[in-house]
Each structure stands twice: as structure tokens, then as C-alpha cells.
């Protein structure tokens, strides 16, 4: 028994010393990460991004019923138009990195959930809240940066109403088993104006206004939806990278 112990100690020290001498043993060369040309700034689209909105047209968007999106287009931004309803992308997405800029109206009207409310529904189901939460208290899991009615943001990184704000989002779609049961929850990381507000957080399920989040099986990809909550929230510079 003693001999075996001695032998293995020698082997471990031999392989350890070989590694000490040859740095190549710990190098990984394949696969080689493909080249992506970054944008001029962190806010501009890198070379492999799909541009969802560049301020010029609503070509990538449609209304809920598949007809033309009727949001207002002006000043390189699109704005929720009264009664136009939500809009959704023509393309579908699952795991993604999403950059989106938004602005709540400069003229402050209403309070709580009634001030600069919109939302970004990943896969059309999971709402990252958009709200003017600058000096505007509401329930914590309904303020800006929250996963609505689920996860409060880590902090409130709001800019003043009327100022452009950014969301940088990393989203992992949920997975389902063959029997339609939930295999793994959706996860989300969100930077609000460059500040971390959701840190690889597990989303409970599809957003519900009343009651508990649900986890009905759905496809691997689905359109991104922007909410019409009756407030004139604007959006610009929207790009997405599929992961």
C-alpha cells in the first residue's frame, strides 16, 4: 500500500513539473473566435448585429395583427402613437444581446405606473419594464429595470425625463423538456445607462399583470415586442446580436 501511494505521488509531481516547463500544454487554439468589428462606441452596432431600428423606417416592425406598425417616426426616433398598440419585430429571436435606447416624455404627466410606461418583451413574453422612475416611486418590481412583477432592479439608474437612456441586455431563452415541462428558466442581465441592474437573474416565467408568472412551452425563437402603455415613450438605435 505504501508503495502505491509513493508511486502516485511521484507521478503527480512529474506531470506537475512537466506542466511547469511547457506553457503550451495549457494553451487552447480551437475553435478560434470569429472576428467581429465593434461599433465606434459601445452604443453603436458591431458588424454582426441585426439593425432593428436606425431612425429611418419601421421596416423591421409590424403591428400585433401583422399590419404596418403605426408608431410615429420623427427625429430619428419612433414614438408610441395613441391607440396604435404594441409593435413586434418581423424576425424572431431566442438567446440574444440587445441594445435599445428609449426616452420618456420631457413633460411629466401622471405618477407611478402612469408615467412614461412602456416595456421590452423578450420573446414577446418576458417584460423588462420601461418607466420614468426618476423621483417616481412605484412598487419595486414594477419600476424601471425590473422584470415586471418579478425581479426588482439592483439599483435605480434613471436619467431625468426627456433624456435618452440605454438598456444593454443579455438574454438566455428558457428551455423546455419533451413533455413540455420547464427544463431551465430564462435568464437576463441588464445594464441601464451602463449600470448593472439585473445580474444573470432567473426569470420566473411569462409576465403577468395579475397572478403568478406562467411557464407554458413555446418555440425557441419569437418576436421582440415593444409595449404601448398609452404614454409617448420614444425608442432609437435598436440592434440585436443572436447568440
Binding site for Mg ion (CB under 5 A): 117, 119, 227
Q: Which is nearer to Mg ion, 60 or 132 (CB)?
A: 132
Distance in angstroms (rounded) separating the CA atoms of residues 159 and 191:
13
CA atoms within 13 A on the CB side of 76: 6
The three grid cell numbers given for residue 24, joined into one nine-digit string? 503550451
Alpha-carbon distance of 217 to 176, in angstroms, equals 6
Q: Which residue is nearest to Mg ion (CB)?
A: 119
In whole angstroms, how close is the CB of 120 to Mg ion at the nearest point?
9
Q: How far is the CB of 28 from Mg ion (least distance, A)?
A: 43
Peptide bond into 83 cis (omega under 30): no
User: What is the smallest separation between the CB atom of 130 and Mg ion, expressed in angstroms?
Assistant: 6
Q: What is the CA radius of gyration of the chain?
A: 23
Determine contact, residues 68/62, Cβ cutoff 8 Å: yes
- What distances in angstroms separate CA 2 from CA 9, 13, 16, 70, 75, one per listed residue? 11, 17, 21, 81, 81
Q: Minimum Å distance from CB 104 to Mg ion?
A: 11
Per DSSP, the three-state class of 97 is: strand
Nearest approach in angstroms of CB 37 to Mg ion is: 34
Whichever of 165 and 227 has its CB closer to Mg ion, that residue is 227
Nearer to Mg ion (CB atom), residue 119 or residue 152: 119
CB of 53 or CB of 148, closer to Mg ion: 148
How far apart are CB 121 and Mg ion at their closest, in Å? 9
Q: Choose between 133 and 166: whose C-beta lies nearer to Mg ion.
A: 133
131 versus 191: smaller Cβ distance to Mg ion: 131
Cis peptide before 31 (omega within 30 of 0): yes
Amino acid at each position: 500500500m505504501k508503495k502505491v501511494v509513493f508511486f502516485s505521488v511521484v507521478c503527480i509531481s512529474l506531470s506537475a513539473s512537466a506542466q511547469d516547463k511547457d506553457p503550451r500544454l495549457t494553451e487552447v487554439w480551437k475553435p478560434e473566435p470569429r472576428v467581429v468589428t465593434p461599433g465606434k462606441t459601445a452604443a453603436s452596432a458591431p458588424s454582426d448585429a441585426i439593425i432593428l431600428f436606425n431612425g429611418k423606417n419601421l421596416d423591421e416592425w409590424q403591428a400585433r395583427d401583422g399590419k404596418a406598425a403605426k408608431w410615429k417616426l420623427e427625429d430619428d426616433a419612433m414614438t408610441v402613437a395613441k391607440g396604435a398598440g404594441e409593435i413586434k419585430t418581423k424576425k424572431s429571436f431566442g438567446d440574444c444581446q440587445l441594445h435599445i435606447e428609449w426616452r420618456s416624455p420631457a413633460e411629466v404627466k401622471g405618477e407611478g405606473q402612469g408615467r412614461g410606461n412602456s416595456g421590452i418583451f423578450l420573446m414577446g413574453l418576458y417584460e423588462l419594464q420601461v418607466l420614468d422612475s426618476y423621483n417616481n416611486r412605484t412598487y419595486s418590481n414594477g419600476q424601471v429595470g425590473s422584470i415586471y412583477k418579478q425581479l426588482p432592479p439592483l439599483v435605480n439608474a434613471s436619467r431625468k425625463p426627456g433624456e435618452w437612456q440605454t438598456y444593454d441586455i443579455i438574454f438566455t431563452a428558457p428551455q423546455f423538456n419533451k413533455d413540455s415541462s420547464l427544463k431551465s428558466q430564462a435568464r437576463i442581465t441588464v445594464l441601464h445607462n451602463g449600470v448593472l441592474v439585473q445580474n444573470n437573474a432567473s426569470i420566473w416565467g411569462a409576465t403577468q399583470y395579475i397572478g403568478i408568472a406562467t411557464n407554458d412551452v413555446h418555440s425557441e425563437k419569437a418576436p421582440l415586442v415593444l409595449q404601448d402603455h398609452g404614454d409617448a415613450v420614444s425608442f432609437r438605435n435598436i440592434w440585436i446580436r443572436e447568440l
